A and B are shown apart, each in its own frame.
Chain A
Amino acid sequence: MSDYFLEIQNLTKYFLLNNDVLSRLTGKTRTLKAVDDISFFIKPGETLGLVGESGCGKSTTARLVTRLIEPSSGAILLKGEDLLAFPPSRMLAMRKTIQLVFQDPYSSLNPRKTVMQILSRPLEVHDLAHGWAAKRRQVLHLLRLVGLGVEHADRYPHEFSGGQRQRLAIARALAVSPQLIIGDEPVSALDVSIQAQILNLFRELQEELNLTYLFIAHDLSVIRHISDRVAVMYVGKIVEMGTVEEIFTHPQHPYTQALLAAVPEADPRKPPPRLTLHGELATPIDPPPGCRLYGRCPLATEICSQVSPPLSDRGGAHYVACHNV
């Protein structure tokens, strides 16, 4: 039996672009390597923060873990069991174990349904409550859990603010008593003062319900606040992974260092944001061999252009993928 709640091994997702006959015949198909051989684990009850900039593959990773899209290769182990080997009947049950909360509180709730209907749906799909009274009880319980009230049950999504709608999305995820919640940028679209409320809510729920989180965000301060461990992604690869303390106080990978240096802190006495990496993001389409950061990295050497560095443990479960560090 595994110690890990979730373990991802060599997960890959390639998208074939222009996969038409002519392109295939002339050898002109292109491959977008959205997620390229990533491995990580999450222990029960902990929060793994997944951070990276646009196009790094973090959202694709979230969808792969829940099998909303199928991986090209690799393994996903849920409490030690191979998720990819689950037949459709077990997949439905799996959907109770892992739930997603999305970024946009405006498009993730059905505008034509009331809160009662939206929150009852998972109960109906998974046969968790029978009859209106039982569903009502559950729905009111869920609303209370997320800091909303009975008066909200019969309203429509458009009657709520962004922060409240995100609470509804969380309530919906909780309806099936999940064990793992994947938040795909769940606070990015919210105002700063509301972000704080929702982050606190995530915290409280984790303690109260013993939840495990995979928390995806691009905002480093948010990641620092909510995570126990952090994985940094860059163009489809994990470049560094470790405890939140280690990553934020002793970042080793040049990309992690660049990310941290670029964040403007809300204190004029702190150093201003700095650019330590120049040039543009590498392309995930038919990438050349070697490290994805080659071309922008101040530490690059010959081997970096030829061999993609493996993620290796540098001590204390601090993993870095770099030939020169």
Chain B
Amino acid sequence: MADPVLQLDDLTVRFHLKRGQLTAIDGVTFTVHRGETFGLVGESGSGKTVTARSVMRLIPMPPGEIVRGRILYEGTNILEHSDQQMRALRGKKIAMVFQEPMSALNPVFTVGKQIADALRTNLGMSKKEAKTRVIELMQLVGIPSPAARYDNYVHEFSGGMRQRVMLAMALSCNPVFLIADEPTTALDVTIQATILELIRSMIERFNMSLIFITHNLGVVAHTCDTIGVMYASHLVELGTKNELFANPLHPYTVGLLNSIPRLDAKAKYLTPITGSVCNMLQPPNGCKFHPRCGHAMDICTQEIPRLKEVAPGHFVACHLHT
């Protein structure tokens, strides 16, 4: 097994809001190794974006607060880094691709300038050097006529092209680690296939590690090595892709897999998970999934289950599997 590049250890982040306290992620623990693609799966409110932004330390504090936990990047706890130390990491060592390229890219600057900014800020390149490198990068990510499009603005690109621009920006300084937060959710399926293929080839080429955040189980099935499932701030299941799909243990994971319409078969009715996610400002006692769980027992209403290894490399946080 390759060395660990990123380790999250008991990471807990809380937000102090006017309407109350919201613990967005609670006790999140997982490791990503060099060259590994880690899929972080969950629905709205699960905490996956907060997890990603915490790694980049992009959460405003206040109202956010790191209650406890560590984020170890190549062995060092980056939560103890100064602003200057974090700036040295962001963009250079750890890069991020965001979900909505229209909102993540600056509409008033040309695309070329924005990518060049990353190079000039992080690597100290001159304007000319940066422009050459940017055109190379645009070529790499498959933007046609890059020299001409260098001076185009964001609105002159389609959704798929904007996502390529974000990818070019993220890859510009040869990061060791990439975090992609729902990079293909807003894209058409054929464009999604193109972007996924691009990410895959970049990972291979540069031996990057990747955290891929999505709610799309189809995408994780074909892009990730390891998968973590999040529900209402907790990591509820963790395992290799094959293990998780073949042998899902947490009732939420099982429910999720059962509720997806299949491309190859047709059932009259789907099997959804009943109910909806709890109010995170006033979560239920014990396991947050228990109100929706067909296997809930007394202990589930009292004690939050902890993540335990139930098979080699397969972890689950559930009283049913203790």
Partner of B242, one of A262, A264, A268, A281: A268
Q: Is the CB of B189 within 8 A of A193?
A: no
User: Pick the contact of B259 from A196, A263, A267 — CB < 8 Å?
Assistant: A196
Contact B188 A196 (CB under 8 A): no
A220 to B262, CA, bound (A): 9
B216→A264 contact, CB < 8 A: yes
B219 nearest CB neighbor, chain A only: A264
Comparing B91-99, B267-275, B304-312, the segment that makes contact with chain A is B267-275
B140 at the A interface (CB under 8 A):
no
With A220-B189, A264-B221, A266-B217 known as contacts, the answer to whether A200 contacts B269 (CB < 8 A) is yes
* Stretch touching chain B among A70-78, A89-97, A272-280: A272-280
Compute how far the CA of A272 lies from the CA of B266 in the bound complex, rounded to whole angstroms: 21
Bound form: Cα–Cα A321–B130 in Å: 48
Does residue B14 face the partner (Cβ distance < 8 Å to A)?
Answer: no
Docked-complex contact B218 and A264, CB < 8 angstroms: yes
The answer to whether B190 touches A200 (Cβ under 8 A) is no
Tell which of A107-115, A138-146, A221-229 binds the partner: A221-229
| Chain B residue nearest in CB terms to A193 | B273
> Closest residue of chain A to B42, judged by CB?
A191
Known A267-B245, A268-B241: A262·B192 in contact at CB below 8 Å: yes
Q: B196 in the interface, Cβ–Cβ < 8 Å?
A: yes
**Nearest CB to that of A53 among chain B residues?**
B188
Instruction: Give the Cβ gap from B34 to chain A, nearest Cβ, in Å.
Output: 22
Complex alpha-carbon distance, A196 and B191, angstroms: 25
Among the interface residues A221, A266, A272, which one has the most CB atoms of the partner chain B within 10 A?
A266
Q: Is the interface of A mostly helix, strand, loop or mixed?
A: helix
Whether, in the assembled complex, B159 has its beta carbon less than 8 Å from a beta carbon of chain A, the answer is: yes
With A220-B189, A244-B266 in contact, do A267 and B158 touch (Cβ < 8 Å)?
A: no
A260 within 8 A of B: yes
**B215, CB-defined interface residue at 8 Å:** yes
Contacts of B267 in A (CB 8 A): 225
A196 engages B190 (CB within 8 Å) = no
Residues of B within 8 A of A197 (CB): 272, 274
Query: Distance (Å) between the CB of B244 and the closest chain A CB?
Result: 9
Task: Assess whether A224 is in contact with B263, with CB atoms less than 8 Å apart.
Answer: yes
Is B261 an interface residue, CB under 8 A from the partner?
yes
Q: How far is the CA of A203 from the CA of B266 in the complex (A)?
A: 13
The answer to whether A192 touches B260, judged by C-beta atoms less than 8 angstroms apart, is yes
Binary interface encoding of chain A residues 190-207 relative to chain B, with 1 for a CB under 8 A from any of its CBs, else 0? 011111110110010000
A164 to B44, CA, bound (A): 14
* A3 interface hit (Cβ, 8 Å): no
Distance (Å) between the CB of A246 and the closest chain B CB? 13
0/1 interface trace, chain A 119-140, chain B, CB 8 Å (1 if under): 0000000000000000000000
Least CB distance from B231 to A in Å reads 10
B261 touching A221 by the CB < 8 A rule?
Answer: yes
Decide yes or no whether A156 CB sits under 8 A from chain B: no
With A203-B268, A225-B266: A263-B189 Cβ-Cβ less than 8 Å: yes
The reply to whether B158 and A280 form a contact with Cβ atoms under 8 Å apart is yes
In the complex, the answer to whether A221 meets B263 with C-beta atoms within 8 Å is yes
* B103 on interface, CB distance cutoff 8 Å: no
Instruction: For the complex of A and B, list the 4 residue pairs with the smallest distance between their C-beta atoms, beginning with the closest.
Output: A196-B272, A225-B261, A264-B218, A196-B259
Give 6 pairs: A residue, B residue, CB < 8 Å, sorted on A.
A191-B43, A193-B255, A221-B262, A221-B263, A264-B192, A266-B257
Residues of A whose CB lies within 8 Å of any CB of B are 53-54, 161-164, 191-197, 199-200, 203, 218-222, 224-226, 244, 248, 258-270, 272-275, 277, 280-281
